[in-house]
Amino acid sequence: MDNKDRVLKLLKESDKPLKAVNVVEILEIDRKEVDKAFKELKKEGLITSPKACFYTAE
């Protein structure tokens, strides 16, 4: 499973929107990888940002 899939899975399982720093801590991956995953997932319409710097799965 690549980092993008891991990030999406985490956001789907979370009961609240998460910040990038939360994802970094939970998945123990580099911040740059999390930011890259967020960018790709937003472009694909799989996640949204309900408020600044927080993300949730659709």
- The H-or-E segment that residue 48 falls in is strand 47-48
Question: Residue holding tokens 């970094």?
Answer: 24
pLDDT at 11: 97
Alpha-helical runs (H) found in 1-58: 3-13, 20-27, 31-43
pTM here is: 0.92
**Angle between the 31-43 and 20-27 helix axes, to the nearest 10 degrees?**
120
Residue pair 40/4 in contact (Cβ under 8 Å)? The answer is yes
pLDDT tens for 14-35 read 999 999 999 999 999 999 999 9
Does 1 have pLDDT greater than 90?
no
pLDDT average, residue stretch 2-18: 97
Does 43 have pLDDT greater than 90?
yes
Does 45 have pLDDT greater than 90?
yes
22 closest CA partner among 55, 44, 52: 55
What domains, with CATH codes, occur in the chain?
Answer: 3-57 (1.10.10.10)
